[in-house]
């Protein structure tokens, strides 16, 4: 680790369109299931986009009713995932001032902001909820998780579009390596399935319009891809200083060996290969891992015509053509601020369990994509290292390297 402190992943938590926890989400990925469904509500029928990756399990089913009413949906699901991750880690006994939280999000409490604006316009100021501000603020998920766990070592919120969740995990790595924390709870959350984002993405021609076949709409690297599908969910991991975890005999799912974070300074929405390559190379360098050691790449691969090609070129340049490449947005949809954390989860489990999920809906690989994209069924193998990418509007690039332990 280039002389730096080793960091391990001891806890995993998730709630996604495939399942309400890690086990069901991972089982869904390996089975090639789709969590993308038609939006049946009347408000969607006027829209050109009427499909989304909605949560399989409603957070209100597992949270206290009063508490849930005071939280935006993105806060609710972050807390659900964090509770699972904390329990999975064995609820480590750690000095509260050595415990930090980093939860990224792309839009924060967008549903609260838009909903309460409707209330204000329709019914006036007296009907606006007094909980509006703590529900809409982007740092709300990190704040709620820190309160839940008694974390006093900092509660941080990267807001970098679709790279937010991966940047959160990268920041957790930095906090431990810099000696500022022994344990960090990190991840991403997003919940913004609403007419306005759907309309905006449709107008930008970024969202798939396969309304008649939701399960086939998200198709990374396929020659017939026509855009991403919006999704919601949260993934949270518990990171620990390896020595701290060993002292309490904690089980490690994987090592978090390195991270690379860059910015393009190029275009507000267009992907840029040079910045992506620098992020991947930076992650490998900080991990002390050579490109040949990487057996798995979880691609950002949103299913947009141009974005997938740029990433395919970037992966080929930074890592090579040898890794098994997967893209689970084909099953979950694009979870924006949580996307990088979902990719991290898939990468961790791939090296832990020795199996890579296949990309759903990959009927015909785009001939311009030269990567070894996994199709047809999960690919078993012994994978020593996995790289997970997350790229966001604004030119945000984040790559994470996970390694097998034991």
Q: Is 334 among the residues known to form the active site?
A: yes
Q: Looking at residue 61, what is its pLDDT?
A: 85
Q: Is 298 among the residues known to form the active site?
A: no
Closest CA to 318 of 284, 288, 356: 284
Q: Looking at residue 1, what is its pLDDT?
A: 43
Domains of the chain from N-terminus onward:
7-404 (3.40.47.10)
Give the whole-angstrom CA distance, residue 103 versus residue 341.
10
Q: What is the mean pLDDT of residues 351-373?
A: 98
pLDDT one-digit tens code per residue, 153-207: 999 999 999 999 999 999 999 999 999 999 999 999 999 999 999 999 999 999 9
Q: Is 300 among the residues known to form the active site?
A: yes
Q: Looking at residue 2, what is its pLDDT?
A: 47
Percent of the chain with pLDDT over 90: 98
pLDDT one-digit tens code per residue, 101-136: 999 999 999 999 999 999 999 999 999 999 999 999
Q: Looking at residue 3, what is its pLDDT?
A: 54
- Catalytic, out of 253, 272, 298, 300: 300
pLDDT one-digit tens code per residue, 48-95: 999 999 999 999 888 999 989 999 999 999 999 999 999 999 999 999
Helical residues (DSSP H) of 108-236, grouped into ranges? 110-123, 132-136, 140-149, 164-177, 195-203
- Catalytic, out of 253, 272, 298, 334: 334
- With 0-12 CB in 10 A as exposed, 13-18 as middle and 19+ as buried, what is 281? middle
Q: How many CB atoms lie within 10 A of CB 348?
A: 27
Q: Point out which residues pair with 254 in neighbouring strands.
A: 9
Q: What's this model's pTM, rounded to 2 decimal places?
A: 0.97
Give the whole-angstrom CA distance, residue 215 versus residue 90.
36
Q: Is the pLDDT of residue 255 over 60?
A: yes
Give the whole-angstrom CA distance, residue 294 versus residue 285.
12
Q: Is the pLDDT of residue 211 over 70?
A: yes
Q: What is the mean pLDDT of residues 361-375?
A: 98
- At residue 138 the predicted structure's pLDDT band, cuts being 50, 70 and 90, is very high
Q: What is the mean pLDDT of residues 135-153?
A: 98
- Catalytic, out of 74, 156, 162, 192: 162
Q: What is the mean pLDDT of residues 34-38?
A: 98
């Amino acid at each position: 680790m280039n002389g730096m402190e080793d960091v391990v992943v001891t806890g995993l938590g998730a709630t996604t369109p495939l399942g309400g926890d890690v086990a069901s989400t991972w089982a869904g990925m390996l089975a090639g299931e789709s969590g993308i469904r038609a939006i049946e509500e009347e408000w969607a029928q006027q829209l050109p986009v009427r499909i989304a990756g909605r949560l399989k399990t409603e957070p209100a089913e597992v949270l206290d009713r009063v508490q849930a009413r005071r939280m935006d949906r993105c806060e609710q699901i972050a807390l659900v995932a964090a509770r699972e991750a904390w329990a999975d880690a064995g609820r480590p006994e750690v000095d509260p001032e050595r415990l930090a939280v980093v939860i990224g999000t792309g839009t924060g409490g967008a549903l609260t902001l838009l909903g309460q604006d409707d209330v204000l316009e329709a019914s006036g100021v007296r009907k606006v909820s007094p909980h509006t501000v703590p529900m809409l603020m982007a740092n709300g998920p990190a704040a709620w998780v820190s309160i839940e766990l008694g974390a006093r070592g900092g509660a941080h919120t990267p807001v970098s579009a679709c790279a937010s969740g991966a940047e959160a995990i990268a920041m957790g790595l930095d906090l431990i390596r810099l000696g500022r924390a022994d344990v960090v709870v990190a991840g991403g959350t997003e919940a913004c399935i609403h007419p306005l984002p759907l309309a905006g993405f449709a107008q930008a021609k970024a969202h798939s319009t396969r309304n008649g076949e939701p399960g086939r709409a998200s198709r990374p690297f396929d020659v017939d891809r026509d855009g991403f599908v919006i999704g919601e969910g949260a993934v949270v991991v518990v990171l620990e200083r390896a020595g701290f975890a060993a002292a309490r005999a904690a089980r490690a799912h994987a090592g978090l060996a390195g991270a690379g974070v860059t910015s393009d300074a190029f275009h507000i929405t267009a992907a840029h290969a040079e910045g992506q390559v620098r992020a991947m190379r930076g992650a490998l360098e900080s991990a002390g891992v050579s490109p040949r050691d990487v057996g798995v790449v979880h691609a950002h691969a949103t299913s947009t015509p141009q974005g997938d090609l740029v990433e395919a070129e970037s992966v080929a340049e930074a890592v090579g053509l040898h890794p098994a490449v997967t893209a689970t947005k084909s099953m979950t949809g694009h979870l924006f601020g949580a996307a990088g954390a979902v990719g991290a989860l898939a990468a961790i489990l791939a090296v832990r369990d020795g199996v890579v999920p296949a990309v759903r809906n990959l009927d015909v690989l785009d001939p311009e994509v030269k990567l070894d994209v996994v199709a047809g069924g999960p690919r078993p193998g012994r994978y020593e290292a996995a790289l997970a990418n997350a790229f966001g509007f604004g030119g945000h690039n984040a790559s994470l390297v996970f390694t097998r332990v034991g």
